[in-house]
Amino acid sequence: METVGTAGGAAQRVAEVLRERIARGILPPGTRLSEESLGAGLGVSRNTLREAFRLLADGRLVVHELNRGVFVRVLGPGDVIDIYTVRRALETAGVRAAPDAPPERFGALRQAVAAGAKAAQSGDWSMVGTADLHFHQALGGLAGSPRLDEYLSRLLAELRLAFLAMPSPRDLHEPFLHRNQAIAALLESGASDRAEAELERYLSDAQRMILDIMMKADA
């Protein structure tokens, strides 16, 4: 009698499932995560579920209000500004490390650019969005630092919450497709200084765009 099939701990597994559902928008921001109903659906006890909640809360994907329960996080303008501040720090660190990075690391970059182009051709703008996130994860990855990777990964997972609230994924991601490609080209040609400057502009523009749409939606 084994309810679990995989190894690695039940709480982590449950957290991963919930992370996925949140990223997909199945559990939209603001949703309340009831211990009872979710636990029944996932076949785990309340105790295990609570451990999973701690994991998610620490990743900022949910907020834990005392004696009220956990809710999928809703991002405000302040959060977006904050996230972009740290993105700038981490991604530019990766770009600055590019000259000393082993050539293999550029593979992830090329791959993400290719995935973005392919998704755009088939009109799957949601997938363009994930390819964009992969590209920027790869930018940070140039630093070759597991911790930097992890922090950036969390940050981008949070940012996805903002993407979910955007009305038109196409308007959101299309303008940045070729800019990713341009940054990748600059990096491969060894012009990491210009790549960094271009990245800074990219991030500024993207931040402004998200904030604009957010403000409009509030009105």
Partner DNA sequence: GCATATTTGTCCGTATGTATA
Partner DNA sequence: CTATACATACGGACAAATATG
Which residues of the shown chain bind DNA in the complex (CB under 7 A)? 1-4, 9-11, 32-36, 43-48, 50-51, 64, 66-69
What is the C-alpha separation between 145 and 178, in angstroms, rounded? 27
What is the C-alpha separation between 191 and 187, in angstroms, rounded? 6
Residue closer to DNA, measured from CB, 64 or 88: 64
3 to 62, contacts with a second copy by CB under 8 A? 7-9, 11, 47, 50-51, 54-55, 58-59
**Three-state DSSP class for residue 128:** helix
210 touching a second copy, by CB under 8 A: no
85 touching a second copy, by CB under 8 A: yes
Query: Which two tokens mark 107?
Result: 């593979």
Question: Could you tell me the smallest distance in angstroms from the CB atom of residue 16 to DNA?
Answer: 12
Given DNA, a second copy, none, residue 219, with its beta carbon under 5 to 8 Å by kind, binds none
144 touching a second copy, by CB under 8 A: yes
155 to 194, contacts with a second copy by CB under 8 A? 155
Residue 69 has φ and ψ, to the nearest 5°, of 115, -175
98 Cβ partners below 8 Å, 6+ apart?
142, 187, 192, 195
DSSP 68: T
108 and 98 Cβ atoms separated by less than 8 Å: no
What is the C-alpha separation between 12 and 22, in angstroms, rounded? 15
71 touching a second copy, by CB under 8 A: no
91 to 110, contacts with a second copy by CB under 8 A? 92-93
Residues that bind a second copy (CB under 8 A): 7-9, 11, 47, 50-51, 54-55, 58-59, 64, 66, 82-83, 85-86, 88-90, 92-93, 143-148, 151, 155
